[in-house]
Amino acid sequence: MSGRFSAHGQVAIVGYAQSPVVRHADKTLGVLATETARQAIADAGLEVGQVDGFVSATLFPTAGAHAAEDGVSIVTPNWLAANLGVDPSYAAGFQGMGQITGSVSMAVNALASGAADYIVLHRALHNPPGRYHENPMTQAGGSQQWTVPQGYFGPLVMIALLYNEYVQRYGATREAMAQVVVEARKNGARLPWSYWHDRPLTAEEYLAAPLINDPICRFDCDIPVDGVAAFILTSAERARDLPHRPVYVAGYASGAPSRARLPLHWPLDDVQEVGAAMAQRLWASSGISPAEVDLPQVYDGFSPFVYLWMEALGLCGEGEAHRLVLDGGIDADRPGTLPVLSGGGALGNGRMHGIPQMLECYLQLSGRAGDRQRSASVGVACHSSPHFGGAVVYTSEPS
């Protein structure tokens, strides 16, 4: 990759739909996805028959003993196309980390190359019956032999080690993290589709929660849900004829750690080093500088990622995010702050992966945020960790 992305401003989001985010939907995930996709297509002013591209990521992010079944616990692009009655010219799934930003990059590439004209990008997330991560295994082979026999299991432990490294290095407190989670839940409480609609959290409630894997408590983790979101993407040229104001993709980047690690081991140095390189590629590809971003939407599936993304994007110095947060620096209701969780994030919506970040960028930059409307023209939507996931820069103007 060198210099500005040649598809800069050439692809736009032109419509969307977001299902209610609930603990357990009263219909199958496949039905929810099909209905949500139809809604998004109609929202973009299109007919189902005009859509010729399908992109998604199907990771079922549970460590538990749950099967991934198409149409039930996951929904692949091909499944969705078939159930909408479309024979697509392009259908593909993203396999890496940063499922939402990675899916966007595939959709952009397909549209910019002419492989498809109108793409449905969807994400369907499922909360299976029973405990989400619980796994009754009594034997550990393959990659799990390096973690499971010593009780090192599931994503919380991975995040706990990473977060404690941050806490020890920079002196971050639970009081600061309480402000992160309170901010996410405050903004999520204002979203009619959110699982946490009308249910904000207080700092006292956060601080009273027992630790699960020190220093992580349950409020640091997004809650597993059933939910589907779909976006329609097309070329900037086609977007001009559609009803809503387009939101353009200026560039994207993803992280790619080269150092071999144990499974589930995300040391802080890796996150910072590889994350900084990812951010450099992001700014180079988009032709945007961090100072121009007025709508940063950081990933928060686990709350420590808020600090790590703020720092990776250069919104503050390394190790400084927790202090900025403690000083009210991410309060989206105060002028002059960094509204990094104005869309509620995953903590304020439910486990929708990077959808809340992308959706907030779309709603605000297209002027469709209703009474939450902010004045913003450059958004960044992040997903997963800065060193494994990625970010997309969105703009309200094509260049």
Partner 1 sequence: MSELRRPVPVPDEASAPYWEAAARHRLALPRCSRCARLCLPPSSICPSCHSTEPDFSWEELEGRGQVRSWTVIRQSFLPGFADEVPFVLVDVELDVQEELRMIARLLDGPDAPLGVGSRVQLGFEDLPGGAAVPAFELEADS
Note the residues at the interface with partner 1 (CB under 8 A): 63-64, 131, 133-154, 156-157, 160-162, 164-165, 168-169, 210-216, 259-263, 265, 267-268
Instruction: Give 222 or 331: the residue with its C-beta nearer to partner 1.
Output: 222
Peptide bond into 215 cis (omega under 30): yes
What is the smallest separation between the CB atom of 352 and partner 1, expressed in angstroms?
Answer: 21
Amino acid at 149: P
Query: Is the CB of 129 or the CB of 336 nearer to partner 1?
Result: 129
Of 158 and 282, nearer to partner 1 (C-beta) is: 158
Distance CA 48, CA 108 (A): 20
Pairing relationship of beta strands 90-93 and 53-56 according to DSSP bridges: parallel
Residue 43 or 311 with smaller CB distance to partner 1: 311
- The strand pairing partners of 15, in sequence order, are 232
Minimum gap (Å) between residue 167 Cβ and partner 1: 9
Residue 213 beta carbon to partner 1: minimum distance, rounded to whole angstroms:
5
Taking a C-beta distance cutoff of 8 angstroms, is the pair 211, 217 a contact? yes
CB of 175 to partner 1, least distance (A): 20
Distance from C-alpha of 360 to C-alpha of 366, rounded to nearest angstrom: 10
First-to-last CA distance in the chain? 19
Closest CA to 154 of 132, 124, 125, 181: 132
Indicate the residue type of 243: P
The nearer residue to partner 1, 151 or 192, going by C-beta atoms, is 151
Residue among 53, 170, 152 nearest 103 (CA): 53
Name the residue nearer to partner 1 (CB basis): 143 or 280.
143
Residue 356, burial from CB neighbour count under 10 angstroms (0-12, 13-18, 19+) = buried
Q: How far is the CB of 261 from partner 1 (least distance, A)?
A: 7
The minimum distance between CB 171 and partner 1, in angstroms, equals 12
